[in-house]
Amino acid sequence: MYFGLYDYSDNTDLDLAAICLKNIFIEKSNKKKFFCPLNSFEKDDIYDKISGQKIILKNTDWVIKDHYYWNKKYEANVHNYPLFAHDSLKSRIFIDDEDRLII
Are 51 and 87 part of one and the same domain? no
Say if residue 24 is in the same domain as residue 59: yes
- pLDDT tens column, 28-82: 898 888 888 877 665 667 788 888 888 877 767 777 777 777 888 888 888 888 9
Range of the domain at 98: 72-103
pTM of the predicted protein model: 0.46
CB 48 within 8 A of CB 56: no
**Does residue 39 sit in the same domain as residue 87?**
no
Q: Does 20 lie in the same domain as 59?
A: yes
Helix (H) and strand (E) counts in the chain: 0, 7
Task: Indicate whether 98 and 77 sit together in one domain.
Answer: yes
Residues 33 and 11 in one domain: yes
- If phi over 0 gives left and psi between -120 and 50 gives alpha, with beta otherwise, what is residue 91? left
Return d(Cα 73, Cα 20) in angstroms, integer: 23
Is the same domain home to 8 and 25?
yes
Claim to verify: residue 8 and residue 57 sit in the same structural domain: yes
61 contacts 72 by C-beta, under 8 angstroms: no
Residue spans of alpha helices (H) in 29-103: none
Cα separation, 98 vs 64, whole angstroms? 36
CB 62 within 8 Å of CB 41: yes
User: For residue 85, what pLDDT is reported?
Assistant: 94
